[in-house]
């Protein structure tokens, strides 16, 4: 299995001289299986340079799995060039939104309205299929099995586990560890903590034994202390999760848009110093990084 990072920034694209080393595009990861399946995790602005590369391979069949519908994870989708070319087959997967009662097809319906985009969805030439997924609903795509896992974010967010040929990875999308809204000693603290423990245990059971974990590490621990409830993880929480599930490699992604390359490396170094890796190889994701196992 091979992955390549095309977008690792969170919240908003940040191109410029201060983000050259790690990149300024938002979330997009290319996954290739040994059997040749092409899976794309998220469709942030990083999907556009990926699309330009894919023009040399057409016709293509690709599965796009969207973690959630916040802008930084979908804003590149209308610029995914294979959608405009006949003979390509693109299947778009993602969560059903219980608030709007809309499926994942709303991602294109909304973005390609004339108010926001000059080309209508009806003008796309590729064959496009939409699949709104339920938590735990495994999808077979080529020689891969892709399983969505419901995680903690202010909108429905799926992490995706991919298994193929005895190898595996998990991408969290945006995820904040569950925390107790009550203080120790308050009446509801123990019962709420039991619910949290049960939820965390079920998530970790789904992730158990993955080779590679790609996790939301937006914050440092000090930043997270004042940003609880914003829906993002931190370096320490991601490393702790990786160690609990037995992941061999952890890639930290969703880099804060206000953190330039130097500041990102400094925050990462501090996190490594504070929490030894204990058998898990912890790395910063960067645009263009390829990893094969």
Instruction: Spell out the per-residue pLDDT of the chain, length 293, in tens.
Output: 999 999 999 999 999 999 999 999 999 999 999 999 999 999 999 999 999 999 999 999 999 999 999 999 999 999 999 999 999 999 999 998 887 888 999 888 888 888 889 988 888 999 999 999 999 999 999 999 999 999 999 999 999 999 999 999 999 999 999 988 888 988 899 998 999 999 999 999 999 999 999 999 999 999 999 999 999 999 999 999 999 999 999 999 999 999 999 999 999 999 999 877 678 999 999 999 999 99
* Dist. CA 68–CA 97, nearest whole Å: 9
Residue 115 CB contacts under 8 Å (≥ 6 apart), including other chains = none
How many H-runs (helices) and E-runs (strands) does the chain carry? 7, 14
Outline where DSSP puts E strands in the chain: 2-7, 28-32, 38-41, 61-65, 89-95, 127-133, 139-141, 144-151, 157-164, 167-171, 212-216, 249-253, 281-284, 290-292
Q: How many CB atoms lie within 10 A of CB 155?
A: 14
Yes or no: say if 101 and 132 are a contact pair by the CB < 8 Å rule: no
Interhelix angle 189-207/235-245, rounded to 10 degrees, is: 60
Q: Are 260 and 18 in contact, with CB atoms under 8 Å apart?
A: yes
What's the CATH number for 2-285? 3.60.15.10
Tokens 């991919």 appear where?
Answer: 162
Decide if 248 contacts 211 (C-beta within 8 A).
yes
Report pLDDT for 276.
72
pTM: 0.96
User: Residue 60's CB: how many other CB atoms inside 10 A?
Assistant: 17
Which among 216, 234, 264, 255 is positioned nearest to 24, based on CA atoms? 255
């Amino acid at each position: 299995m091979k992955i390549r990072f095309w977008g690792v920034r969170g919240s908003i694209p940040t191109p410029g001289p201060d983000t050259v080393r790690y990149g300024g595009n938002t979330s997009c990861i290319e996954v290739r299986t040994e059997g040749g399946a092409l899976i794309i995790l998220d469709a942030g602005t990083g999907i556009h340079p990926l699309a330009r590369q894919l023009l040399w391979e057409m016709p293509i069949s690709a599965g796009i799995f969207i973690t959630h519908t916040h802008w930084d994870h979908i804003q590149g989708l209308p610029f995914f060039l294979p959608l405009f070319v006949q003979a390509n087959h693109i299947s778009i997967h993602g969560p059903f939104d219980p608030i709007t009662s809309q499926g994942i097809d709303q991602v294109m319906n909304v973005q390609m309205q004339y108010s926001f985009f000059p080309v209508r969805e009806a003008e796309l030439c590729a064959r496009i299929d939409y699949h709104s997924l339920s938590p735990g609903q495994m999808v077979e795509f080529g020689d891969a099995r892709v399983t969505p896992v419901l995680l903690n974010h202010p909108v429905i967010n799926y992490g995706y586990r991919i298994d193929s040929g005895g190898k595996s990875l998990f991408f969290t999308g945006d995820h904040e560890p569950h925390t107790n809204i009550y203080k120790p000693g308050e009446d509801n603290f123990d019962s709420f903590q039991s619910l949290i423990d049960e939820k965390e245990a079920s998530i970790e059971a789904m992730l158990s034994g993955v080779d590679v974990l790609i996790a939301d590490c937006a914050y440092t621990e000090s930043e997270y202390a004042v940003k609880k409830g914003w829906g993002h993880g931190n370096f320490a929480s991601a490393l702790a999760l990786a160690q609990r599930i037995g992941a061999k490699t952890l890639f930290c992604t969703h880099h804060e848009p206000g953190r330039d390359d130097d500041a990102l490396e400094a925050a990462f170094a501090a996190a490594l110093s504070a929490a030894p890796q204990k058998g898990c190889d912890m790395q910063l994701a960067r645009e263009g990084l390829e990893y094969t196992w």
